[in-house]
Amino acid sequence: MITLPKEFVATKFPGYFFNRNDQKLYSLKISGVLKPLKYYTPNRWNHIGRFPSKLKDGTKVYSNGGYRVSVEGRLKFYAIEQLKEIEEHDATIPVKEKVNA
C-alpha cells in the first residue's frame, strides 16, 4: 500500500496528485515515484485561457494557467483554479500484488 504525505491531495483523474504546499501537480509512476508535471501559461498558440473552466460552485472562470494530463489516452487541461479548490483528505492507494499460482 502506498501512503502519501498529507499535503498531497488526490484529483478527479486517477494517478495525479496535487501538492497544496508548493501548488504543483504530480503524476504517480508505476515505480512509485512522483513526477512533477509542467505548468502551462496562456499564450496565443496554446489556447489556454480561451475557454472558461467550471468551478464547483458553478461559476466559470478564465484560467491563468494549469497542467495537461492524459486521461485514457486523451489530453485534458486541468486549470490551477480547479486544483486549488480540492479539499484535503486521506490519500491512501491500495496496491494489488500478484499472487503466485
Taking only the tens place, the pLDDT of each residue in 38-58 is 999 888 887 777 778 788 888
Residue at 98 is within a domain? no
Residue at 56 is within a domain? yes
Domain count, the chain: 1
Residue at 80 is within a domain? yes
What single string gives the DSSP state of each residue in 63-77?
-S-EEEEEETTEEEE
Residue at 99 is within a domain? no
> Mean pLDDT throughout 5-32?
88
| Structure-model confidence comparison of residues 2 and 40, the more confident one | 40
Residue at 100 is within a domain? no
Return the percentage of the chain with pLDDT > 70, whole number: 85
Residue at 48 is within a domain? yes
Please report the sign of the dihedral spanned by the C-alpha atoms of residue 90, residue 30, residue 21, residue 51. negative
Residue at 28 is within a domain? yes
Weakest-pLDDT range from 22-26, 37-41, 79-83, 86-90:
86-90
Q: Which domain holds residue 42?
A: 2-93
